[in-house]
Amino acid sequence: MNSLTPILSTVTASFLGSFVEVVEAFTIVLAVGVTRSWRPALTGAALALAVLAAFVLIFGPLLALVPIETLQFVVGVLLILFGMRWLRKAILRSLGVIALHDEEAAFSKETASLQAQSADRRADYLAGLAAFKAVLLEGVEVVFIVVAVGGAHGLTLYAGLGALAAFILVMLIGLLVHRPLATVPENTLKFAVGLMLTSFGIFWTGEGIGAQWPGADLSLIAIFAIVSLASYAILRGLRGSAGTPTAKAAQ
């Protein structure tokens, strides 16, 4: 159980985080393919994946040169910041302070933009560039998630498998339904990923400064439970006293 806990938590965090990012990239690529043609859409996406692969091949081996304690501390702090950013946005979306991310709206917006450029002689280039930017920007976040949740304990392979599973699942669903994945509860996923990344960050930051966690890797479960309860309490507290922000957002 001790050895399975970090593997399962790593794969799950990587899968959920990557799933959200891949859905967002897929929406733009789908809009390009449907509105313009699949050639610039797939070309732009393929080029972005090549850039990301080169990035991983060049900088990935450098992690082995960093002392494990330093790596755990740095990655832990970054994960806490990254995870709390996702939690903050998920809580604000739940309260209605900021709008929920709508893949249908994103698809429609990108489609309208591409249609407006259709008369431009560079239309194929601009369409391919849109697909390239979407895949590259979301892909960078996927790479960060994979390296962050897997690098500190030498579980990058498992984190990569989680991300790959997310990519394959989104592609299969997208090809079958041939539409934006608007039914995905993205805010719920982001909330869960925020909890997991923050929990990983606390655990690895502690290890980086030499803390001895009770139960070793099993303490991840306890940390996750505490972070979840604290976040839920904050959400309930804000929801109870934030009638005004929600009302303002509705107006």
pLDDT digits (tens, 9 = 90+) for 178-229: 666 555 666 777 788 788 888 888 988 888 888 888 877 778 888 889 999 9
Distance CA 235, CA 112 (A): 36
Mean pLDDT of 147-152: 71
pLDDT given for residue 251 in this prediction: 33
Spell out the residues 6+ positions from residue 82 whose beta carbon is closer than 8 angstroms to its own. 144, 148, 197, 201
How deeply is 137 buried, as exposed, middle or buried, from its count of CB atoms within 10 A (0-12, 13-18, 19+)? middle
Residue pointed to by tokens 């984190």: 159
Contact call for residues 162 and 14 (beta carbons, < 8 A): yes
Using alpha carbons only, what angle is made at residue 207 by residues 90 and 143, rounded to the nearest 5 degrees?
A: 50
Average per-residue pLDDT for the chain: 76
pLDDT digits (tens, 9 = 90+) for 43-89: 988 999 888 888 777 776 676 677 777 877 887 888 888 888 888 88
pLDDT given for residue 177 in this prediction: 66
